Amino acid sequence: MRYFYPAIFQQDAENGTFTAVFPDLPGCRAEGKSMEETAVKARNAMAASLLEMEEKEIPIPAPSAERILQRRFRDSKVCVVLVDMDSYRAFCAYKVKQAETKSAEWAESARKSRPGILARVFGLR
């Protein structure tokens, strides 16, 4: 499933950071030091929000019209963000598998490098 939602990108004049807000997805926002970084984070935030809504069986809202948002937020940049949920799910599964592999490697190296509790208490080798 693919979703298209408009995001409102704004730059903070004081510190130069960028913010992206999705008006149709409550609480969905991203911040970054550059527009590119913010766009990547916005796509991930949107995908995470939509995945959570799907898992909790919350109705997914219809996207707002980009033109209406452009008129309402003239001082900001309105961009439509696309997310392919099948690709996002595959990415999440890959990250979980990587984390499990790293965790298993760490546990194995910790087991080999440190003596067990009995060895520490009784001086066994």
Listed as ranges, residues in the chain with pLDDT below 70 are 110, 113-120, 123-125
Question: CA nearest 70: which of 80, 60, 81, 82?
Answer: 80
Phi and psi dihedrals of 10, rounded to 5?
-135, 150
Coil vs helix vs strand at 80:
strand
pLDDT of residue 9: 97
In what helix (H) or strand (E) does residue 84 lie, and over which residues does it extend?
A: strand 77-84
- Mark residue 57 as left, alpha or beta (left: phi above 0; alpha: psi -120 to 50; beta: remaining): left
pLDDT of residue 108: 78
Domain count of the fold of the chain: 1
Which tens digit of pLDDT belongs to each residue from 46-66? 999 999 999 999 999 999 999
Whether residue 40 is contained in a domain is answered as yes
pLDDT of residue 48: 96
Question: What range defines the domain where residue 20 resides?
Answer: 2-96
Question: Looking at residue 89, which CATH number applies to its domain?
Answer: 3.30.160.250
pTM for this prediction: 0.77
